[in-house]
């Protein structure tokens, strides 16, 4: 999957079509849903992200096409265990506050994706056990992330990069850990 979707491009399209989700939340939600449900998560995710938008709108159709690209790319990266999986966030040209806010929104979406799926007992037990319970706890903390005004830019940048790397690896680990749940849903 070579087609890469940019954060700003998707964020603008979501805003124009009237979606209530931003690009970071949307990708986090998708990643969480894919971890729990795999392929069947796609249509439900798309409906949730585009809920309340005008189905006849050309802007929605454009947005839906971008979301399909995001779905395919994310699914491919997770299933192929590619190290180039990364949360969809603003690039380094965006200011630190914008990037940090988007990172927090990504984690919100991811957590929502994990827990908003149909919850059987097996999923509840898996989410309550390590390492997923630790990932959930950490992501909850990251949803509160902000810029440390007392630290210099270099320190804030290093902390941001470390958190993004943690999120990237944690999302892939969650996908791997929930493999049995996804396969049980397929049957």
Residue 117 has pLDDT above 90, yes or no: no
Residue 147 has pLDDT above 90, yes or no: no
Q: Mean pLDDT throughout 83-87?
A: 86
Residue 167 has pLDDT above 90, yes or no: yes
Q: How confident is the model at residue 99 (pLDDT cuts 50, 70, 90)?
A: very high
CB atoms within 10 A of CB 173: 15
Measured distance CA(184)–CA(165) in Å, rounded: 30
pLDDT greater at residue 142 or residue 149: 142
Q: Mean pLDDT throughout 73-85?
A: 86
Domain spans of the chain?
Answer: 7-186
Residue 29 has pLDDT above 70, yes or no: yes
Q: How confident is the model at residue 81 (pLDDT cuts 50, 70, 90)?
A: confident
| Summary mean pLDDT of the chain | 91
Residue 3 has pLDDT above 70, yes or no: no
Q: Mean pLDDT throughout 95-111?
A: 96
3 state SS for 138-173 = HHHHHCCCCCCCCCCHHHHHHHHHHHHHHHHHHHHH
Q: What is residue 1's predicted lDDT score, i.e. its pLDDT? A: 41
Residue carrying the six token digits 């999957």:
1
Q: Tell me the CATH class for 7-186.
A: mainly alpha
Q: Mean pLDDT throughout 93-101?
A: 94
Residue 183 has pLDDT above 90, yes or no: no
Which residues contact residue 156 at a Cβ distance below 8 angstroms, ignoring those fewer than 6 apart?
A: 96, 147, 148
Q: CA nearest 100: which of 163, 165, 151? A: 163
Residue 8 has pLDDT above 80, yes or no: yes
């Amino acid at each position: 999957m070579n087609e890469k979707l940019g954060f700003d491009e998707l964020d603008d399209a979501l805003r124009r079509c009237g979606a209530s989700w931003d690009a970071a939340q949307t990708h986090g939600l998708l990643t969480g849903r894919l971890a729990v449900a795999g392929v069947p998560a796609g249509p439900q995710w798309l409906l949730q992200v585009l809920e309340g938008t005008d189905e006849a709108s050309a802007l929605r159709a454009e947005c839906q096409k971008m979301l399909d690209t995001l779905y395919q790319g994310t699914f491919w990266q997770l299933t192929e265990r590619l190290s180039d999986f990364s949360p969809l966030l603003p690039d380094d040209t965006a200011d630190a506050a914008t990037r940090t806010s988007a990172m927090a929104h990504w984690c919100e979406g991811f957590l929502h994706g994990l827990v908003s799926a149909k919850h059987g007992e097996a999923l509840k037990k898996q989410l309550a056990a390590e390492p997923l319970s630790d990932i959930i706890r950490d992501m909850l903390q990251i949803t509160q992330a902000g810029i440390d005004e007392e630290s210099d830019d270099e320190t804030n940048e290093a902390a941001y990069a470390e958190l993004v790397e943690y999120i990237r690896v944690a999302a892939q680990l969650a996908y791997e850990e929930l493999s049995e749940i996804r396969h049980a849903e397929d049957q």
